Amino acid sequence: MFKTKSLLVMAATLAGSLAMGQQKTITVYTTAANTSLRLTENGKLDFSPGRQPLETEPFVLVDPSSPFQAIIGIGGALTDASAETFAKLPKDKQQQLMTAYYSTSTGIGYTMARTNMQSCDFSSGSYSYVADNDAVLKTFSVAHDEQFKIPLIKQALAASGGKLKLFVSPWSPPAWMKDNNSVTGGGKLKPDMDQAWANFFVKFIKTYEAMGIPVWGLTVQNEPMAKQKWESCIFTAEDERDFIKNFLGPTLQKAGLGEKKLIAWDHNRDLIYQRASTILEDPAAAKYVWGIGFHWYETWTGGPMLFNNVQLTHQAFPSKNLIFTEGCKESFVFDSLQAWWLGEKYGYSMINDFNDGATAWTDWNILLDEHGGPNHVGNFCFAPVHADTRNGQLIYTNAFYYIGHFSKFVRPGARRIAVSTNRATLQTTAFVNNDGSIVVIVMNTTDAPMSYHLMLKGQSAAAESLPHSIVTLIIK
């Protein structure tokens, strides 16, 4: 509470000093299509006394006196696929990638990470940590992960200065724990395996932590309503609620892991409110749940992203955190790696998710190869960075830079603040960091430039949004 009050006091002081005519600096960072600008510092703006804007004058109005949720972090997933691809890179390219993602000075400063518990589609094949029918988990071993994934996670932890918040997600329990006797094709956890599966989470977390990898949180089940040709397992809302309150929650508590952030749902925005309400309206389940995770793939129906469902969930359950746990552009095509819509999809989602109450945002694979994998079922996708393993080169898509406009400047502990625009062209969100700096992000997805005024407490600065661009403005 003290930190929150302190940063808001600093922001109010900054705004007040502006009102008294004390000059503050606005530093501009831009990424724009058909230019060389990629998260590039490209100018400074000056405030001057403002006036009532006319309806004909585009503006972005920032108000730090209206604070909203605190931001926990932004990052991406450290999967088997990312780790296997990373291992194929020359050492200098490995170091370049770690710096690019995790350095706060020369990189984009990731502070969140997700990894798969057992195999997922972005693994080279299906695997398990236990032998068949070992319900007491005597054979439990993460030796599989020691070849590629654990070394990558440890390098990412080191590159982040030990500040990476890692959460873990299962795609499927072992086949013999499920009613379809397969890790693929959906299926459900057998009723007599509830406790063994809850124990499995504890075993995994404690094993990783004993190996020097702190685990910040966990999700109950990746995409619990998806019957996939890859690793998947079905949990209805009632199933997940009962598993949390009767098995997973109490088991974590008894094992001394009650402080781990337990995240429910971990699927698309379409059913987020239905899932959240079923679980969180039950006090016996809700007491174990830190937050609700969500993905962006509800667009498979042909419709748009359903941000209103995120907002509704936040309004109904304001004490619970909302965390974006996965998103990527599917159907990989190598020739589209420089397509501009890749980054704009990220910018659009991040602006709206934060504005609708998200406290953290985690991308899917941090790195994939030139085929959009490896993926053992051919579900090849895009990542912000791809390695061409044929020549050892890294290819940075503009998605990397769009994400960086948030992760580099919106630091853990920041609070989202009010921001308003009078033009749909100017998509925007804003934050205040712990040091009192104000971060304003403005995105333009149209073919035309847009001149506007950045307004703050009676002061105004002339600015321009280039066609197909994203800008971060830092006010100090």
Catalytic (active-site) positions: 223, 326
CA 243 distance to own-chain centroid = 25
Which pair of structure tokens corresponds to residue 322? 């909302």
| Contact (Cβ atoms closer than 8 angstroms) between residue 402 and residue 32 | no
| Contact (Cβ atoms closer than 8 angstroms) between residue 2 and residue 443 | no
Taking the CB of residue 178, how many other CB atoms lie within 10 A of it? 23
CA 364 distance to own-chain centroid = 8
Which value, to the nearest 10 degrees, does the dihedral of the CA atoms of residues 283, 284, 285, 291 take? 50
Q: Which residues touch 192 (CB under 8 Å, ≥6 apart)?
A: none
Q: Amino acid identity, residue 414?
A: A
User: CA-CA distance, 373 to 387, in Å (whole number)?
Assistant: 10
Using alpha carbons, select from 339, 326, 472, 334 the residue that is nearest to residue 398. 339
| Contact (Cβ atoms closer than 8 angstroms) between residue 439 and residue 432 | yes
Q: How many residues does the chain have?
A: 476
